[in-house]
Chain A
Amino acid sequence: MNNKIENFMRLDFPSKSCNESFSRAAVAAFASQLDMNIEELADIKTAVSEAVTNSIVHGYRGIKGIIHIECRIFGDSITVTVRDEGRGIEDVKRAMQPLFTTDREGERSGMGFTVMQTFMDKLSVESVYGEGTTVTMTKTIGGEADADFGEI
């Protein structure tokens, strides 16, 4: 790609479940300036939906808070960061295991992180118990990572 795009956007919204569809649509609209196919765009949308839903269902369970999204486009890659100042995750490694959920009654599938991992190229989860969680995920459009792609 000759013309490198560098762009970013930020989004702050309250942890209401009606904002799940809004936030994934907003990220998809921003991401669509990259030349990607429908499947890649759907992957980003699904991963964002999982991260935002986690913040609402787990991070801010029973409390109100703000969810922060930051998107950065660099070259052929898009990095999406979803951050909350909620409860945090006690054991990130355990939380990322497929089918693990702390919310059995709510019929949660325990597949959120698995979806993010599968549909994006890179995923990192940083969490401080009692302080919040930051999920950072990157997808490179067209498969291979760009040679100039530096730090996230």
Chain B
Amino acid sequence: MQINTEIIGNTLVAKLFGELDHHCCGEVRTAIDREIDKGRIKNLVFDLDGVSFMDSSGIGVILGRCKKINELEGRTLIIRARPQVDRVLELSGIKKILECG
């Protein structure tokens, strides 16, 4: 999985490419937490346009980051989820606790 991170103001935009499953959720967690832990950002945007597949392991990693952002009183946003990814997001109920665009 490829992870591109970009900081715009106090928002971290994490663009993910590939298949987000248990095998690669560790590297996603590490890459995003590294940026959060630097203390410069408050909000997080997951750009999932490049994610061709996601299962419930992806939900776990998104929720984990969302909790960290909540501690900073920031907001987490998911954008550009493809249909298969959106179906898993919908089922998980995660859409009720964070913003999806």
Contact = CB atoms under 8 A, between A and B. Distances in A.
Chains A and B are bound partners: yes
Interface of A: 17-18, 20-21, 24, 38-39, 42-43, 45-46, 49-50, 53, 56-57, 106-112, 114-115, 118-119
Contacts of B55: 46, 49-50, 53, 115
A27 to B, nearest CB: 13
B83 A42 contact: yes
A60 B19 CA distance: 22
A133 B66 CA distance: 32
Interface residues of B, number: 21
Interface of B: 19, 21-23, 25, 29, 53, 55-57, 59-61, 63-64, 83-84, 87-88, 91-92
Chain A binding surface SS class: helix
Contacts of B84: 39, 42, 45-46
B91 A20 contact: no
A106 B92 CA distance: 17
A108 B21 contact: no
Contacts of A119: 87
A107 B56 contact: no
A18 B26 CA distance: 13
A21 B19 contact: yes
